[in-house]
Amino acid sequence: MADYRKTTLSMQEQMKSSKNSSMANSRSISNSTERRNLGYFSCGTGNPIDDCWRCDPNWHTNRKRLADCAIGFGRNAVGGRNGRFYVVTDPSDDDAVNPKPGTLRHAVIQEEPLWIIFKRDMVINLKQELIMNSFKTIDGRGVNVHIANGACITVQYITNIIIHGIHIHDCKPTGNAMVRDSPSHYGFRGIADGDGISIFGSSHIWIDHNSLANCADGLIDAVIGSTAITISNNYFTHHNEVMLLGHSDSYTKDKIMQVTIAYNHFGEGLMQRMPRCRHGYFHVTKRVTSEGGWKSWNWRSEGDLLLNGAFFTASGAGAGASYARASSLAAKPSSLVASLTSGAGVLNCRRGRSC
């Protein structure tokens, strides 16, 4: 992990800023799911997230409906639903301290809730970490947006973030530089590891329908007491340490962590951490593409409590035939992988037709 102690804005100050922003904007986060009508469009895909909005040919005029469609622990992440639209028109990132209006960096640091969309296709080469502020949605639907070949996204000590429909790849370590994280504050940042999306001490986060590959460290890491997170419908390829949930074995404060991993496609060229879970409560859906391929891989589960039908089948050298199982409920057969993850990753959404 990067040395986050080098930032000049302390954890306590960040949490206070996030709390004040939340109170100022009077954003109520309810645990009730009554506001959702997940079957409204009757897509019949078997994916309750996509059934909530993908069949709507007018999705581009109903963009904020997406905020009502998450499931799992991150289901109450409203992002920028209660704010105005901000259109990114400029892919440049020339100044991390004084970002230009119209750039993605200028959008994500604002104090107010914003639903951020893009005017056209663009490749954004970030010079330093994109440090987000609370109550933001990054919505790449309808265009082809890449964050690539530079720094990537940092979600640190904030709340209510939705990231949807973005290509994130080839992220590099950056840092030892001044970076702005709000209109009123910037500070010195130490070296960042080069994660695709780094979630650090944050809550109510939903990462959905993104395509991630080939970053310097993790594709998505959630650490330091982060919780209320859903990671869904993403497409992961060509990477070593894919996803880390929990800072370290000794960091027991991560016991508050609650993360749902659902409908993601773990594709070719992946090596490990799909995901690696430490302290906390994790709801993970994992399906393999062939019965023959994975049996020679070394899969282990140690010290895990498996609930609500979850089970784990060890494989590889010395695995034996034993496995832990919490009930008689069975996992979905591997033959359903194609249909259940066919929509994973960035979608080809075009105005006037369903995605």
Name every residue whose Cβ is closer than 8 Å to that of residue 189 and which is 6 or more positions away in sequence: 6, 7, 128, 129, 131, 175, 176, 177, 178, 179
Choice among 273, 300, 325, 353 that is catalytic:
273
Q: Nearest-CA neighbor of 193 among 177, 171, 213?
A: 171
Asked if pLDDT for residue 36 goes beyond 70, the answer is: no
Q: What would the pLDDT profile of 189-231 be if each residue is shown by its tens digit?
A: 999 999 999 999 999 999 999 999 999 999 999 999 999 999 9
Asked if pLDDT for residue 332 goes beyond 70, the answer is: no
Cα separation of 52 and 65, whole Å? 8
Specify the 3-state DSSP secondary structure of 246: coil
Residue 271: Cβ-neighbour burial (10 angstroms; 0-12, 13-18, 19+)? exposed
Please state which of the four CATH numbers 3.40.50.720, 2.160.20.10, 1.10.1040.10, 1.20.1050.10 is assigned to the domain occupying 4-25+36-287: 2.160.20.10
Q: What would the pLDDT profile of 110-152 be if each residue is shown by its tens digit?
A: 999 999 999 999 999 999 999 999 999 999 999 999 999 999 9
DSSP string, 90-128: B-----SSSPPTTBHHHHHT-SS-EEEEESS-EEE-BSS
Asked if pLDDT for residue 32 goes beyond 80, the answer is: no
Asked if pLDDT for residue 60 goes beyond 60, the answer is: yes
Instruction: Give pLDDT, residue 246.
Output: 87
Beta-bridge mates of residue 244: 221, 276
Asked if pLDDT for residue 234 goes beyond 90, the answer is: yes
234, 345 Cβ separation under 8 angstroms:
yes
DSSP single-letter state for residue 288: -
Q: What is the pTM of this model?
A: 0.79
Mean pLDDT of 260-265: 91
Instruction: Give pLDDT, residue 43.
Output: 72
Residue type, 264: N
Mean pLDDT of 98-105: 98
Per-domain residue ranges of the chain: 4-25+36-287
Q: How many CB atoms lie within 10 A of CB 125?
A: 15
DSSP string, 165-231: S-EEE----B-SEEEEEETTEEEEE--B---SEEEES-EEEEEES-EEE--SS-SEEEESS-EEEEE
With a pLDDT cut of 70, the percent of the chain lying above it is 72
| Residue-level length of the chain | 355
Q: What would the pLDDT profile of 272-327 be if each residue is shown by its tens digit?
A: 877 888 888 887 764 444 455 556 656 666 666 676 666 677 766 655 443 333 22
Is there a catalytic annotation at residue 273?
yes
Instruction: Give pLDDT, residue 26.
Output: 37
